[in-house]
Structure 1
């Protein structure tokens, strides 16, 4: 376990691991796998890459042997070289859970404060998209009145949807990435991810030892300690935010870094690896360390969302937002416009 994880009060020791059959309790039957026998070559990549061990090869053909555990993550179809796999939502997949009394709505004072933050971030930085308010609803807490997606999404996809104006709440059975849910405390980690096996298949790391070290050193919340994730545009908040995620250019991230230290002059220690970008680097680290953190993105979020190649991310704990906004306002008076005007660029 990494020193930063220990210092943040996260889980002490390896994550809880569950096999595919146990994950059915979390997942429910929400997807149906269709295999096109005319196209299938029997290569077995779908079986190898499925993180939930849903697929097995029988007599040279893929069979869904644990369909109830399918998360609809589309790893199998994405890796199929002949596009012989189709994943469909099962009947009733979008049905809501039993109704319950929602959490009280956000008070007007907090809503107005968040909207003011959003306006400053967008106006001073020139952000193209909404800053995103992130909340983790803990086990035992009431759920806010926020719509769930009709199909499973990855956490990074929900963040990207929020930056475009869509508010979403996702319990575990609305998440499509079991890696992200295990990091954010919604579920235990699947065995094929805990072992490092899947990372080797993706050629993301050189060895099982390296993969296991990466998994072991990343921070995570205890399994089942979180009930749902909520991602909303910061100017359309639905519940109290814990982290503000900003997606923008490296130059915009620079100004946010400077705004954070405008009144103190301190330098930042950022933790980024290219693995588990949005769930660890943009969300969990700022949440638990109470410090800003940057992320370059990761394989998953860049392969499954519309984040631009020139974009990067920053997570800001809500406890720092007042100071960040004040510092940004000051930087916007002279430093930012002069820098963007290239006042020291010699004429050619």
Structure 2
């Protein structure tokens, strides 16, 4: 696939499934990679979930480094930095009264998907139908019906099941980016307290993430199942 292919797939996916906002292309820039010169720096400090939400609604494209990531928990699961001891131990969520014991909080945090710390130097974000870089992962924030159709299209050729492992924690970052990046599998997640507080993700929306390698077959199946798209 080249950029023209990916942009075409992004437009087709959005049109065929009538997704009201853009699927979001995300690429984790490894330390041995260069940040593309045509991608602007975000120029402000905000949260990863807000970045994804802004891209899908406003059509912006940019890169963000660790210093731009307001939520260091999100930054850490995507490999930009070490996770803080208090977050890793579960203490943060225990003190927020999200768990009955510190042990329960720690047991949950131990299962959060995490890219190796300090292996990533920046994250690229763009609407899928306009991206000029090769994404690792595509995030779709949409109503459950669309997530259902995406799931059906993913399974149309070879069958199987779609993962839906989540804890309502580290959702748009760990579940949405790190899980498919590490496993090569698509995933579904429901959002978390932070992403629902700081973004415009609606109560009736959820998140699906798909590794880019699955994109051609996904679009082909979606077109076959839910209506053809005239290029």
Q: Same fold (TM over 0.5)?
A: yes
Number of the residue aligned with 1:208: 102
- Residue 148 in structure 1 maps to residue 33 in structure 2: no
Q: How do residues 145-294 of structure 1 correspond to structure 2 at under 5 angstroms?
A: 145=37, 146-164=39-57, 165-294=59-188
Q: CA deviation at 1:333?
A: 3.1
- Residue 295 in structure 1 maps to residue 189 in structure 2: yes
SS across alignment from 2:44: coil
How far apart, CA to CA, are the structure 2 residues paired with 1:218 and 1:200? Answer: 16
Q: CA deviation at 1:223?
A: 1.2
SS across alignment from 1:217: coil
Q: CA deviation at 1:141?
A: 1.2
How far apart, CA to CA, are the structure 2 residues paired with 1:333 and 1:174? Answer: 41
Q: CA deviation at 1:235?
A: 1.4
- Decide whether the 8 Å contact of 2:162 with 2:188 is kept in 1: no
- Residue 132 in structure 1 maps to residue 24 in structure 2: yes
Structure 2: segments with no counterpart, 5+ residues: none
Number of the residue aligned with 1:12: none
- Residue 115 in structure 1 maps to residue 7 in structure 2: yes
Structure 1: segments with no counterpart, 5+ residues: 1-108, 335-348
- Decide whether the 8 Å contact of 1:160 with 1:305 is kept in 2: yes
How far apart, CA to CA, are the structure 2 residues paired with 1:272 and 1:198? Answer: 18
How far apart, CA to CA, are the structure 2 residues paired with 1:305 and 1:162? Answer: 11
Q: Provide the aligned length of Structure 1 versus Structure 2.
A: 226
Q: 1:221-255: CA deviations, max 9, x gaps?
A: 12110001111001121311111111111000000
Q: Which moved more, 1:142-151 or 1:226-235?
A: 142-151
Greater share of helix residues, 1 or 2?
2
Q: Which moved more, 1:245-254 or 1:206-215?
A: 206-215
Number of the residue aligned with 2:225: 331
SS across alignment from 2:100: coil
How far apart, CA to CA, are the structure 1 residues paired with 2:183 and 2:81? Answer: 22
Q: CA deviation at 1:111?
A: 1.9
How far apart, CA to CA, are the structure 2 residues paired with 1:190 and 1:291? Answer: 27
How far apart, CA to CA, are the structure 2 residues paired with 1:232 and 1:150? Answer: 15
CA-based RMSD of the aligned residues comes to 1.4
TM (normalized to structure 2)? 0.93
How far apart, CA to CA, are the structure 1 residues paired with 2:147 and 2:74? Answer: 24
Q: How do residues 17-28 of structure 1 correspond to structure 2 at under 5 angstroms?
A: none
- Decide whether the 8 Å contact of 1:262 with 1:327 is kept in 2: yes
Q: CA deviation at 1:122?
A: 1.3
SS across alignment from 2:129: coil
